[in-house]
């Protein structure tokens, strides 16, 4: 067994030590477990800095009982339903977005946190890019999504979902450009009467 000293920030050490105690583990055991996981992730080409975001995303997905299916299969299902009842399907996606807002707000209380969480969440979805840019005064957003479906039907459903989520965070879509797999949307803070 090799022994070495590792220097870490005081705050990191205190949190690490506290968590080891909560797990009823020695610092030695807890450090070995943590370092082993990070080493395995790195060895397989992963980035250990993404670990916390991935864990947070998985925790949120457990809250909503997500079932993982191949994206081609989901796209085909959506296209079939879209052809027979487009309006009801879009309504279902809008309702899903409205329901997800409550769960999303556990991880991201405001639109700034949602932008950060969105980057973490995108790792588990077939999204290639998810970017939310906020204007300096905070009154408007620009949302750019690449990989939002492989067919126009699934992209339109993704957009319906996005609209509802933005509404839940107090923004209304004012303009959009939708193409197969890509969504550009601009939104403004909702003005309440």
pLDDT tens, 125-139? 667 888 899 988 879
Query: Looking up tokens 């395995």, which residue turns up?
Result: 40
Cα 51 from chain centre: 13
Nearest to 150 by CA among 74, 49, 48: 74
Question: What confidence score (pLDDT) does residue 125 get?
Answer: 65
Question: Would you say 142 and 166 are in contact if contact means Cβ atoms under 8 Å apart?
Answer: no
Q: Which of 46-55, 66-75, 80-89, 115-124 has the lowest mean pLDDT?
A: 115-124
Question: What confidence score (pLDDT) does residue 123 get?
Answer: 58
Question: What confidence score (pLDDT) does residue 28 get?
Answer: 87
Question: What confidence score (pLDDT) does residue 193 get?
Answer: 41
Nearest to 175 by CA among 166, 185, 165: 185
What is the side-by-side strand order in the sheet with 171-179? 129-134, 140-146, 182-189, 171-179
Question: What confidence score (pLDDT) does residue 119 get?
Answer: 72
Question: What confidence score (pLDDT) does residue 54 get?
Answer: 72
d(CA 129, CA 135): 19
The interaxial angle of helices 71-107 and 51-63, nearest 10 deg, is: 100
| Span 58-189 CATH architecture | 2-Layer Sandwich (3.30)
User: And the tokens for 142?
Assistant: 């620009």
The predicted model scores a pTM of 0.72
What are 148-161's pLDDT values in tens digits? 889 999 999 999 99
**Which residue intervals of the chain are DSSP H helices?**
10-22, 27-43, 51-63, 71-107, 111-122, 152-168
DSSP 31-65: HHHHHHHHHHHHHTT--GGGHHHHHHHHHHHHHTT
């Amino acid at each position: 067994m090799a022994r070495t000293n590792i220097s870490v920030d005081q705050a990191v050490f205190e949190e690490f030590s506290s968590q080891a105690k909560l797990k009823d583990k020695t610092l030695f055991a807890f450090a070995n477990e943590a370092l082993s996981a990070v080493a395995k992730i790195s060895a397989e080409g992963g980035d250990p800095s993404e670990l916390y975001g991935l864990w947070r995303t998985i925790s949120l997905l457990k809250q909503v009982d997500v079932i993982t299916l191949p994206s081609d299969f989901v796209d085909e299902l959506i296209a079939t339903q879209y052809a027979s009842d487009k309006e009801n399907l879009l309504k279902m996606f809008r309702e899903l977005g409205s329901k997800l807002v409550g769960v999303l707000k556990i991880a991201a209380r405001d639109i700034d946190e949602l932008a950060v969480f969105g980057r973490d969440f995108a790792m588990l979805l077939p999204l290639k890019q998810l970017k939310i840019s906020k204007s300096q005064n905070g009154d408007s957003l620009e949302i750019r999504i690449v990989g939002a479906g492989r067919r126009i039907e699934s992209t339109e459903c993704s957009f319906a979902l996005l609209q509802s989520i933005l509404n839940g965070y107090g923004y209304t879509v004012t303009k959009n450009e939708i193409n197969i797999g890509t969504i550009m949307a601009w939104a403004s803070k909702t003005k309440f009467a």
